A and B are shown apart, each in its own frame.
Chain A
Amino acid sequence: MNRVSTGVEGLDKMLHGGLIPGRPYVISGPPGSGKSILGVHFLLEGIKNGESVIMVAVDEPPNEIKTNMAHFGWGLDRLRILDATPDIRTYTKGKSIIDVGTTLDVQDMEQVGEMRKSQQLRIMEVSIHSVQKMLKQEFQDHFKVSGKRYTRVVIDSLTSLKMFGMRAEDRRILIQSFLRFLSELEATTLIITELPRPDELKTEFLLARGDIRFQKWFESNAVRRAVSIEKFRGSAFDERFRPMVIGSRGLFVQADGEVALHGRRSDGVVGHFFRDIMSEEAFEILEEITTLWEECEAIDANIKDLKPRIFRAMIYLHMGRHDDVVQQSVSLLAALRERKEKATMSSLIER
């Protein structure tokens, strides 16, 4: 079947060959997990195949992207980049604010020099609408000039676009419309975005045809990384977490590697992603506690002072604060065992 390579071999393997072309996908992960690097891999792969590709830069100005990616030694010169970073806001009245959509700014990476300076008289503002307009214009212009359609697009990032670009309007409908717009471009699009909160269903995750998710955490002092496919419409995929490193040549995914998830908690960075595992662990440990509690009650062991802590652990579990449950429980378990032993001993002595 016809698939689009992400430019990262191990990831393609996880996707059973690559992405299904012409659809929008989400790349999510915490800051510094490698999302933008994947974006560049994906575009370079296209350039390698002679395709037309474009990056929409909302987070960082093109000159910074150029610097950041320089040390991977990639030939970025032919990468087309659309500068959609908003200008410095000025607070003087009377300046006219213009939409970036009206001043199309697309360059080859090669030409990227200094950062665009905010102008004295007008300020560029970015909105989802203006980005849409710019992209559409650029698609048409590019087709006129080269006779080719863009086949790969990276939006870096939707998070910023939402922050800067959508204030008054209904976000859900705007994002639905934006994804529809991207679908109609018929290019394969990667949308870079932050991790979703566990209790919230974001529209981009609902509508994207796939979600490649990066994880990052600390093990002793080292940064560890993993990647998983959370959603992929129309295809089977590797359902495991796979280890990933950011090396001198960019991302490397070890498609046959294992990620051990044991003993990983409270580091905050992994956050809710191992929540399922955490909750299982928390449930088990609390069950152990309640069993011990009952046993203690049965032999009249004095555990009165421990009860509030047990209740607190239960409340934490209820609130989904599994980290805290586990933390509380470790010392609780030890204390309960000690009391139980004591009570058993003294009853033996009495006899």
Chain B
Amino acid sequence: MVEKIRTGIAGLDCMLKGGLIPGRPYIVSGPLGSGKTTLCMQFLLEGLKEGESVLFVALEEPPNEIRFNMESYGWKVGDVEILDANSDIRRFEPKPILEISSEIDVVPMKNVPSKIRKTPDGESRETTVHSLQQALKNLFKRKDYGRIVIDSITALRRFCMKDFEESLSTQSFIRFLTEAGKTALMTVETIDNTGSDLETFLARGEIRLHKFRHENGIKRFICIEKYKGSSHLEYIVPMEIKKGGIFVYEEET
């Protein structure tokens, strides 16, 4: 049997029959506010606990806000390394555009300033799928990251593939992560509780989060849509988000 790594959420590990098979990319999908980023952060914190280096690639929110948001769960996220891959304010005049691979460095969360990084007057930074791939490649040479989170593939596709073909570039990006042999969680925004076609198809597994509006509030569920190379729980399990993060109510039988 393959050795598995824990996700940081006990109930989810039960659903995955022990955890995730390392060295592969997985999808975490769900609608807005379903807890994708939170789940990913728990995954990284678990890695820290194991003494690994872990990396969070931010494409949707500025690092200062991620830090603030995650600390509100009562977590110590200081040692999670973060790559700020958010694009700057776009220039409308032709100005030099800096590709992030040459520009950005990774910082541990504890060194993230409390204020947002400002777009400089003279030049604008822009993340493309190509430059992000390059940046990651360089990073992987320098350090052996045990766990990686890409938050999110949706933003990568929307904002970083202007002159690229979306399906092909996504495929190539996931292929790149696979070849690098990294255990990666990639978040994907879904609408209407339906799945994402392409990413799911490419990834080795998909954890899907559900969020339903109900008269008495929001009901949350989690399920494993796909898991190559392992058996897994086949049904939907209720979960909660509260202080301390995500709790999945599934026990080993």
Q: Which residues 202-235 in B have Cβ within 8 Å of A in the complex?
A: 212-218
User: Contact flags (1/0) for B95-110 with A, using CB distance below 8 Å?
Assistant: 0000000000000000
Smallest Cβ-Cβ distance to A20: which chain B residue: B68
A33 vs chain B, min Cβ distance (A)? 17
- The docked-state distance in angstroms from the alpha carbon of A35 to that of B16 is 44
Per a CB cutoff under 8 Å, which of A170, A176, A203, A233 touches B69? Answer: A233
**Chain B residues whose CB sits within 8 angstroms of the CB of A184 once the complex forms:** 89, 116, 118-119
**Chain A residues whose CB sits within 8 angstroms of the CB of B86 once the complex forms:** 180
**B76 at the binding interface (Cβ < 8 Å):** no
Provided the pairs A203-B158, A231-B32 are in contact, do residues A236 and B192 lie with their beta carbons within 8 angstroms? Answer: no
Per a CB cutoff under 8 Å, which of B33, B72, B88, B192 touches A230? Answer: B33
Per a CB cutoff under 8 Å, which of A177, A199, A206, A233 touches B89? Answer: A177
B124 vs chain A, min Cβ distance (A)? 9
Q: Which residues 46-101 in B have Cβ within 8 Å of A in the complex?
A: 60-62, 65, 68-69, 72, 86-90, 92
B186 vs chain A, min Cβ distance (A)? 15
- The docked-state distance in angstroms from the alpha carbon of A272 to that of B86 is 32
The answer to whether A198 and B191 touch across the interface, beta carbons within 8 angstroms, is yes
Provided the pairs A234-B72, A235-B72, A240-B217 are in contact, do residues A198 and B192 lie with their beta carbons within 8 angstroms? Answer: yes
**Chain B residues whose CB sits within 8 angstroms of the CB of A163 once the complex forms:** none
Q: Which residues 133-182 in B have Cβ within 8 Å of A in the complex?
A: 154-155, 158-159, 162
Provided the pairs A184-B119, A206-B155, A233-B65 are in contact, do residues A276 and B191 lie with their beta carbons within 8 angstroms? Answer: no
Per a CB cutoff under 8 Å, which of B87, B116, B189, B218 touches A239? Answer: B218
The answer to whether A173 and B116 touch across the interface, beta carbons within 8 angstroms, is no
- The docked-state distance in angstroms from the alpha carbon of A198 to that of B192 is 7
**Chain B residues whose CB sits within 8 angstroms of the CB of A273 once the complex forms:** 213
- The docked-state distance in angstroms from the alpha carbon of A203 to that of B154 is 10
- The docked-state distance in angstroms from the alpha carbon of A79 to that of B186 is 44
- The docked-state distance in angstroms from the alpha carbon of A234 to that of B64 is 11
The answer to whether A176 and B159 touch across the interface, beta carbons within 8 angstroms, is yes
- The docked-state distance in angstroms from the alpha carbon of A274 to that of B213 is 8
Q: Which residues 308-330 in A have Cβ within 8 Å of B in the complex?
A: none
Provided the pairs A20-B68, A180-B88, A184-B89 are in contact, do residues A231 and B159 lie with their beta carbons within 8 angstroms? Answer: no
**Chain A residues whose CB sits within 8 angstroms of the CB of B90 once the complex forms:** 173-174, 177
A297 vs chain B, min Cβ distance (A)? 30
The answer to whether B191 and A201 touch across the interface, beta carbons within 8 angstroms, is yes
B30 vs chain A, min Cβ distance (A)? 12
**Chain A residues whose CB sits within 8 angstroms of the CB of B158 once the complex forms:** 172-173, 176, 203, 206
Q: Count chain A residues whose beta carbon lies closer than 8 angstroms to a beta carbon of B.
A: 45
User: Contact flags (1/0) for B222-253 with A, using CB distance below 8 Å?
Assistant: 00000000000000000000110000000000
A165 vs chain B, min Cβ distance (A)? 12
**A349 at the binding interface (Cβ < 8 Å):** no
The answer to whether B116 and A183 touch across the interface, beta carbons within 8 angstroms, is yes
B252 vs chain A, min Cβ distance (A)? 29
Smallest Cβ-Cβ distance to B191: which chain A residue: A201
**Chain A residues whose CB sits within 8 angstroms of the CB of B216 once the complex forms:** 240
Q: Count chain B residues whose beta carbon lies closer than 8 angstroms to a beta carbon of A.
A: 36
A246 vs chain B, min Cβ distance (A)? 23
User: Contact flags (1/0) for A187-231 with B, using CB distance below 8 Å?
Assistant: 000000000001111010111010100000000000000001011
**A186 at the binding interface (Cβ < 8 Å):** yes
A205 vs chain B, min Cβ distance (A)? 6
A236 vs chain B, min Cβ distance (A)? 7
B60 vs chain A, min Cβ distance (A)? 7
Smallest Cβ-Cβ distance to B242: which chain A residue: A236
The answer to whether A173 and B154 touch across the interface, beta carbons within 8 angstroms, is no
Provided the pairs A206-B155, A261-B215 are in contact, do residues A177 and B192 lie with their beta carbons within 8 angstroms? Answer: no
Smallest Cβ-Cβ distance to B118: which chain A residue: A184
**A232 at the binding interface (Cβ < 8 Å):** yes
Smallest Cβ-Cβ distance to B158: which chain A residue: A172
The answer to whether B213 and A276 touch across the interface, beta carbons within 8 angstroms, is yes
Smallest Cβ-Cβ distance to A201: which chain B residue: B191
The answer to whether A180 and B89 touch across the interface, beta carbons within 8 angstroms, is yes
**Chain A residues whose CB sits within 8 angstroms of the CB of B119 once the complex forms:** 180-181, 184
- The docked-state distance in angstroms from the alpha carbon of A209 to that of B119 is 20
The answer to whether B33 and A176 touch across the interface, beta carbons within 8 angstroms, is no
**A265 at the binding interface (Cβ < 8 Å):** no
**A277 at the binding interface (Cβ < 8 Å):** yes
User: Contact flags (1/0) for A3-36 with B, using CB distance below 8 Å?
Assistant: 0000000000000000010110000000000000
**A78 at the binding interface (Cβ < 8 Å):** no
Per a CB cutoff under 8 Å, which of A172, A173, A233, A277 touches B213? Answer: A277
The answer to whether B32 and A239 touch across the interface, beta carbons within 8 angstroms, is no
**Chain A residues whose CB sits within 8 angstroms of the CB of B92 once the complex forms:** 129
User: Contact flags (1/0) for A67-102 with B, using CB distance below 8 Å?
Assistant: 000000000000000000000000000000000000
Q: Which residues 269-323 in A have Cβ within 8 Å of B in the complex?
A: 273-274, 276-277
Smallest Cβ-Cβ distance to B93: which chain A residue: A129
What would be 22 A-B contacts, judged by CB atoms less than 8 Å apart?
A23-B65, A132-B89, A177-B89, A180-B88, A181-B119, A186-B115, A186-B116, A199-B192, A200-B191, A206-B32, A206-B158, A209-B61, A211-B33, A228-B213, A232-B33, A233-B33, A235-B72, A236-B243, A240-B217, A273-B213, A276-B212, A276-B214
Apart from the given pairs A177-B87, A198-B191, A238-B217, 5 other A-B contacts in the complex at a CB distance below 8 Å: A20-B68, A172-B158, A177-B90, A239-B218, A240-B217
Which 10 residue pairs across A and B have the least CB separation, nearest first? A239-B217, A234-B69, A231-B33, A177-B90, A239-B218, A181-B89, A172-B158, A176-B159, A276-B213, A201-B191
